[in-house]
Amino acid sequence: MLPLLRTALAAALVLGAPGPGRAQELWLTLSTAEAVPQVRVNYGHASKRETPAVSQLIDLLALTQDGGASLRGALKPAPPEVPPALLAPLGTKPGRTLVAATYDAGYWTILRDGTRLNASRRLVPQARSGYWAVKYAKAAFGPGAPWLRVVGHTLEIVPVEVPGPTAGAIRVRVLFRGAPLPGADLYYGDSGMEPERAGAPAYTTDPDGIATVPIRKAGSQVLTVSQTVSPSATPTLADEDRYTATFAFRLDEPSVN
């Protein structure tokens, strides 16, 4: 039997958080408060961020038109006076850099009373349901970054074109296992926050996996998409596999002479 693929809405992707629209996301932003620009690896949601576990961050790559380098070895927790995150210095010019990350969110089981445990079915065989979750994140930090590059994530958001500073929308293609994913719902957030999906409009991909997402204002933007596969690739450990991908970018106000 072929695995069942479906686009997962936010309420189906909550990892230990109450209520709909509280999906935990992984998203990347740029911090310029330090002497050297830093990549921020954010995890959680806008009202409750958490510091990602370094041991679960599989990779963090900085990619330019000339090549790429791993930033994982330089990761450190953000200082306590700022929102929780992992930070890594960016050795290249931010405006030329695309950053990509993969995060294993682990196995989760849901007991019959609704309790969620960070454990697989191997330890909790009596659970009502169980799943494995993985998070992918990309961010283009400037117009010179390789926006259109496919980095090879299992679930990936890839711009169709680089939006200009006054763009009112961005066209992106969603890929799943390297192929266009039709019928996927994209969500949009601004101000560098991951989208709060509850009540937010979804922008659905067409048969070619392409969606046009309006941009409300200049500044930091984040797009999110999710996909669920059932049965899981590890059926003795989970019932389904849940994939989430984000793409972050920034559109600055056009200069005024």
As a three-state string, the secondary structure of 211-228 is EEEECCCCEEEEEEEEEE
* Residue 198: inside a domain: yes
CA distance 217 to 168: 8
**Counting Cβ atoms within 10 Å, is residue 254 exposed (0-12), middle (13-18) or buried (19+)?**
exposed
Sort strands 129-140 and 240-251 into parallel, antiparallel or unpaired.
parallel
Look up the pTM and report it. Answer: 0.88
Count the domains in the chain. 1
Q: Is 194 helix (H, G, I), strand (E, B) or coil?
A: coil
Q: What is the pLDDT of residue 197?
A: 63
Q: What is the pLDDT of residue 256?
A: 32
End-to-end CA distance of the chain: 62
| Eight-state DSSP code of residue 12 | G
* Residue 148: inside a domain: yes
User: What is the residue-wise DSSP string for 66-102?
Assistant: TEEEE-GGG-EEPPTTS-S-EEEE--S-GGG-EEEEE
CA distance 242 to 131: 7
Whether residue 152 has pLDDT greater than 90: yes
Whether residue 8 has pLDDT greater than 80: no
* Residue 77: inside a domain: yes
* Residue 254: inside a domain: no
* Residue 42: inside a domain: yes
Each residue's pLDDT tens digit, 47-106: 788 999 999 999 999 999 989 999 999 999 999 988 899 999 997 788 899 999 999 999
Residue 208 structural domain: 4-248
* Residue 205: inside a domain: yes
Whether residue 193 has pLDDT greater than 80: no
* Residue 73: inside a domain: yes
* Residue 8: inside a domain: yes
